[in-house]
Amino acid sequence: MFRYAKHFTPGAGVLALLTVFSVGACSRAAVAQVGVTESVATQAQTSVQAASNDDFLPQLQGVDPAKDAAAEAALTEPRRIAAAIVAVGNPSPKLIVDVDAYQGSFLGEFLNRFPTARGLWTEGDRESIGVASARLARFGDRVDFKIACADRMISEECIPHGTDVIITDWVSIHQDLNGMYKSYSAAAALLPPGGWIVNIDHIGFGGSAWEPWLQAARKGIRPDQDGPAIHHPELRVPTVDEQLGALRAAGFDAHVTWQSFNTVLFMGRKR
């Protein structure tokens, strides 16, 4: 049974999507002030098909769904690599939290890899919960949803202490280097020794010619952009060394474990 966070109240767009979920189901979801109490898993296949329709994706805001799907597919490899590496260090994590999880694809990859783990989907934008709940329906009551962790900011207000793995992506679209130091330090305080933090992110090149070279070279090889564009034009995207420096300063044994052009998989294990 899907369980929504205690303080989550669905918006109008989510209620409309939940109505679609309930058509033809044996039992209808009961929507209360505290959230949804009935399962939507019985309509998972229909829901996923609906999620591919641009009418059900208000959060894309005009982005071409085909390009968005291609970018998602391109991230399958680093997500699987991240889960495989975590499995070596901790084959049975109990709780995996996806920070600002959007449609839940990254969390889904980890829940596939760790069938006994629970997942917590967090997101600052409540409009994403409809599509995410459809995509994660196959995991049943192993997933909880919480409107929190806006702007990829990790804090104890949104992540339980003792979480085994924190995953996120595109931190640089919202946070500058100072914000990353704060988020990574908060993550270290919330994770136990041996806990993991994972971030798939863009990297900058400090104004060198490498950035336009790589951006031009990727055409025909990968999608034009794997993740969303930076949300704050005044921010400078940190370099690899700066991101690793922030992770290591927080107490993580951190490394780059995959890179394609300007997209990098950062992983850190708490010392």
pLDDT one-digit tens code per residue, 98-146 = 999 999 999 999 999 999 999 999 999 888 999 999 999 999 999 999 9
Crossing angle of helices 177-190 and 240-249, in 10° steps, is 40
What's the confidence (pLDDT) of residue 63? 60
What's the confidence (pLDDT) of residue 152? 94
Highest mean pLDDT: which range of 5-9, 42-46, 256-260: 256-260
* Confidence category of residue 271, pLDDT binned at 50, 70, 90: very high
Supply the pTM of this predicted model. Answer: 0.78
What's the confidence (pLDDT) of residue 228? 86
Is the pLDDT at 55 greater than 90? The verdict is no
Nearest Cα residue to 247 out of 173, 186, 205: 186
What's the confidence (pLDDT) of residue 263? 97
Strand order across the 252-260 sheet: 3-4, 143-147, 118-123, 95-98, 165-169, 196-202, 263-270, 252-260
Domain 63-270: CATH superfamily is Vaccinia Virus protein VP39 (3.40.50.150)
8 A C-beta contact, residue 239 and residue 54? no
Is the pLDDT at 53 greater than 80? The verdict is no
* Confidence category of residue 248, pLDDT binned at 50, 70, 90: very high
